[in-house]
Chains A and B, each alone.
Chain A
Amino acid sequence: MAGRRVAIVGAGMTKFVRRALETGPELAWEAASKALESCEMTLDQVDAVVLGSAPDAFDGVHMKVEYLSPGAGAWGKPTIRGYVGGGTGVFAAIQGWYHIASGMFDTALVVCEEKMSSCHPHPQAAFNYIFDHTTERPLGPNLLWIFALEMNAYMTKYGLTKRDIALVAVKNKRNAAAHPAAQLGDPNITVEDVLNSEVLAWPVQRLDVSPVTDGAVAVVMAADHVARRVTNRPVWVEGVGWSLDTQYWTNRDLSYPTYVEEAARKAYAMAGIREPRKEIHIVEPYDPFDYKELHHLEGLLLADRGKAAELVALGIANRDGAMPVTPSGGLLGVGNPIAAAGLMKVAELFWQLRGEAGPRQVPGQPKRGLAQAWGDLMQVGTVIILGI
């Protein structure tokens, strides 16, 4: 383990909704103040702030983190923005870790916010500006192209069916029914519902995709000596890793997320994990699309290539299965306020490992969990491993 030991000692989040009345700073404040309340800390005990948020265009405010800073408790404090697109939520926690592991600070408040409803008529249009300006943007690209091409390549390579993949959406939306903050939990959803939903860009259909969401999540991180004073159940950061694939998205192996494997290998090495399938008890992989959960489980080396769908089909990935995957309900069920969605996965591990997840609690007193996110131009992998 590099540097000082660091723990997460508190967590809080807003409800995830399609359109919040709250402004971005108000959402950030609600999540951040709940996280501090959860560990009975006050703002003056926070040494530094890490603020994670995805493209400025979503909130429609340039220099968005400065805009959000009042709600994140950043006034008068060293503050940094974490931004690796969809990978931001997990990366912000990694930044919180190295702020403290380095010895520079004893505590950090990590806040992630996204208010996507500000972008009209749909935040999808903002994604047009991530494509190459002379060779792709003139084609009028749509982000769904990438996912549809990737899902098709993945299905074709391994002979997977739409039904195999739709089972992920069913599992996660059912899991989310037990999450008090969820936007799209549904205890009765069936695979037919997914297969009959509107086709967006074949093979991607409406219920294969996570929704547009407003929301915020925060965690409080602390150095060993502070963490033990604050709580008798600190949740330790055991490993972190992140890696970036090529910006030329067409040139990647669309059927395998190499960038996730690179990030996972760094995190496993740091945590001293040799057999991740045995040593990771809960997985929260990034699931903005149902096939991406499978893709990421393979990149995390938790399933053989092309075989992750079997974990879902056989129930191994269920909340009470041998390797629970996305017990929170994930982006597909809880919702997808981009940066906040990744940190929601980190917060879920915090609650699960402390046995505080209520009706979502994974049985068997899990000791170690992994959260992963994915982003930038679909090319970054960010991984964190937590344990008690």
Chain B
Amino acid sequence: MPLKERISHIDEVRSWQGSIRLEGVYTAGVAGERWLRGLQEGRIYGTRCPRCRYTYVPARLFCERCFGHLDEATWVEVGPQGTLTSWTRVHVALDGQRLSPPRCIGLVRLDGADALLVHDLLEDGTPLRVGLRVEAVFRPPAERVGSIRDLAYFRPVP
């Protein structure tokens, strides 16, 4: 086969370094706008489809199951406590560098929700396990800007 078996250093072959420079400005959307304003107030909302009895978090404008419009009447507050459904401890960054300390990520079903939310998980020494009770911790009100980051992390319920 004509393939070079192994190229260990890119400067062994002729190559050109290029990048595709693009930046985006993404609107949060009709439901997302209101949902993020809710986080700014320290509240987590969902929208509950009355037909499918399924509560979406983050809140959605429509139900993907029945295609129904999730209007004003479907907004419900969920959490701030919930249950850990899975977790991981991440040791590498996107560029392959080791993370020190590692970063802990949790998948949380907030009380009153069906959908799950992914976010940082604070390690306070409590052994992590599926089923652990956790709660949302928000940034101080003055630091909130209406972003997913207004929710600082989840932590084990003391």
Residues of A within 8 A of B (CB): 14-15, 17-22, 30, 60, 62, 120-122, 124-125, 128, 133-136, 138-142, 144-145, 148-150, 152-153, 156, 198-204, 246-248, 250-251, 254
Contact = CB atoms under 8 A, between A and B. Distances in A.
Given A153-B85, A246-B64, A122 B148 contact: no
B130 A153 contact: yes
25 contacts: A14-B3, A18-B6, A19-B6, A19-B10, A20-B4, A21-B3, A21-B4, A30-B2, A121-B96, A134-B28, A134-B29, A135-B32, A138-B147, A139-B119, A139-B148, A144-B90, A148-B90, A150-B86, A152-B86, A152-B88, A200-B90, A200-B92, A201-B92, A250-B117, A251-B116
B120 A139 contact: yes
Interface string B68-111: 00000000000000000111111111111000000001010000
B3 A152 contact: no
A122 B95 contact: yes
Contacts of A254: 85-86, 107
Scoring A22, A128, A246, A250 by chain B CB atoms within 10 A of each residue's CB, the highest score goes to A250
Contacts of A152: 86-88, 130
B20 A60 contact: yes
A14 B107 contact: no
A150 B107 CA distance: 10
Contacts of A156: 86, 129-130
Interface in B5-28: 5-7, 10, 13, 17-18, 20, 24, 26, 28
- 3 closest A-B pairs by beta carbon, nearest first, are A148-B88, A250-B116, A133-B26
Contacts of B10: 19
Contacts of A153: 85-86, 107, 130
A145 B94 CA distance: 11
A121 B85 CA distance: 32
B38 interface: no
Contact of A133 (B3, B24, B95, B120): B24
Interface residues of B, number: 47
Contacts, number: 128
B118 interface: yes
Nearest to B129: A156
B76 to A, nearest CB: 17
Given A17-B3, A149-B105, A128 B88 contact: no
Interface of B: 1-7, 10, 13, 17-18, 20, 24, 26, 28-29, 32, 36, 56, 58, 64, 85-96, 105, 107, 114-120, 129-130, 147-149
Given A201-B88, A251-B116, A122 B3 contact: no
A139 B94 contact: no
A121 B95 contact: yes
B148 A142 contact: no
A113 to B, nearest CB: 14
A250 B115 contact: yes
B91 A15 contact: no
Given A20-B7, A125-B94, A153-B85, 11 more contacts: A15-B3, A19-B6, A21-B13, A134-B28, A134-B148, A135-B58, A142-B90, A148-B105, A152-B88, A204-B88, A246-B64
A20 B3 contact: yes
Nearest to A214: B3
A141 B118 CA distance: 10
B118 A250 contact: yes
A128 B3 contact: no
A17 B8 CA distance: 11
Given A134-B32, A145-B118, A250-B115, A201 B3 contact: no
A337 to B, nearest CB: 12
Contacts of B88: 144-145, 148-149, 152, 201-204
Contacts of B96: 121-122, 124
A246 B60 CA distance: 13
A388 B92 CA distance: 46
B148 A136 contact: yes
Nearest to B93: A142
Contacts of A142: 90, 92-94
A202 B91 contact: yes
B86 A138 contact: no
B49 to A, nearest CB: 13
A153 to B, nearest CB: 4
Given A134-B26, A136-B148, A250-B116, A201 B89 contact: yes
A30 B4 CA distance: 14
A17 B147 contact: no
